[in-house]
Amino acid sequence: MIPIRYNIRSLAVRKTTTLATALGIALVVFVVASSLMLVTGIKKTMGTTGHKDIALVMRKGSDAELGSVVEEPSIGIILAAPGVSKTAKPAGVGEIVVVAAMEKIGAEGVTNVQMRGVTDDVLQFRPEVRIVDGRPAQPGTDEVIVGKQIRGRFKGVELGQSFDVKKNRPAKVVGIFEAGGSSYESEVWVDRETLRSAFGREGIVSSVRVKLESPASFDAFQLGIEADKRMGLMAQREVTYYEKQSEGTSILVAAIGTLIAFFVSVGAMIGAMITMYAAVANRQREIGTLRALGFSRRSILGSFLLESMTLALVGGLVGTVAAMGMGFVRFSMMNFASWSEIVFSFDPTPGILGFALVFAGGMGLVGGFFPALRAARVSPVAAMRA
């Protein structure tokens, strides 16, 4: 077998082409890993929003809370349904969800931000939500609290500042909250009655959430809600709802990332192939000498494949390390289910980073196979005469 140091020396001699090819592969790996990290981050953000022991009730046929209407008298019936926890205080909450156009800081134009009309016991219902700066909003006032992910991203959405919930209806930010990295952190929470009067939603809510006795109680609860055809409501697990909410956005990101990665990876593999073909052409005599010393065609083939994969793995390692830095980046984009902007993070899981390195090795294998095959077929006599 040809010593590995022979391949290392060959790569070091061709510094320019080696560096260019490695950087090309690093770029591909960076794009692939970053897109997978963002898709995972989207699913994680939406997935941590839901809980298995919470059921969500909306108008039958509604895809999201934004388009749902539940009559307020139905809330009492929902809370009395089978399977609802008798010990939780509160056992459920009815909330209004709207979107409001707000100006982004540092960018022209406006974007939609989701506002949630909540009751004064919302923090008891969602114990994972806690105020990290400021204080809770006072019930019945025009005070609001905002998620930490959108803090300072929009005009007026900073502690102590004010913005219009609706035209000529200002609200003051008195608190910043976090919610375990869930999508709630991209929302503005307003007193429910304030939001009702501002948007003309008297007598209705968008959805009702209830705490179940246990996750296993959902089937009985769903049957009790959907059996009453007069209400025209449907029930689903909260975690299932948010999984569906993330599907469209994650599919879009994955499709764009895959498309970009495909074209860039083709270019990187062509670059690796050109580099290895040039190496074969410039090392004809070396190959002939190796053959004359008794190294088999298989050894030549394996040596050049190893060289190509080493080059690819070095580039892959650079791209993977660069992609890990994306874990500190927060990325905002439109959630097409709610038509509001949500801030997501890149989630660099070990599985994604491992896949990125394997992907880099695969590019080196594909890009280096034909040049290695050509090197293995070089005639020793013709190579020595070259």
Q: Tens-digit pLDDT profile for the chain (386 aa)?
A: 666 676 666 766 777 777 877 888 888 888 888 888 888 887 777 767 778 899 999 999 898 898 899 999 999 999 999 999 988 889 999 999 998 888 888 777 788 889 999 999 999 999 999 999 999 999 888 899 999 988 888 888 899 999 888 877 889 999 999 998 888 998 999 999 999 888 888 899 999 999 999 999 999 999 999 988 888 999 999 988 888 887 777 777 778 777 877 777 777 777 777 776 776 666 667 666 766 667 777 787 777 788 788 888 888 899 999 999 888 877 777 666 666 777 778 888 899 999 989 888 888 888 777 777 777 776 665 555 55
21: its two tokens: 């090819």
Amino acid 282: pLDDT:
66
Structure tokens belonging to residue 61: 């046929």
Residue 151 tokens read as 């803090």
What's the pLDDT at 336?
Answer: 64
User: Does pTM top 0.85 for this prediction?
Assistant: no
Are β-strands 143-147 and 169-178 bridged in parallel, bridged antiparallel, or unpaired?
parallel
Cα(361)–Cα(354) distance, rounded to whole angstroms? 11
Domain boundaries, the chain: 4-47+245-385, 61-231
Cα 266 to Cα 210: distance, rounded to the nearest angstrom: 51
Which helix (H) or strand (E) is 56 found in, with range?
strand 54-59
Q: What does the angle CA 45 – CA 49 – CA 53 come to, to the nearest 5 degrees?
A: 145
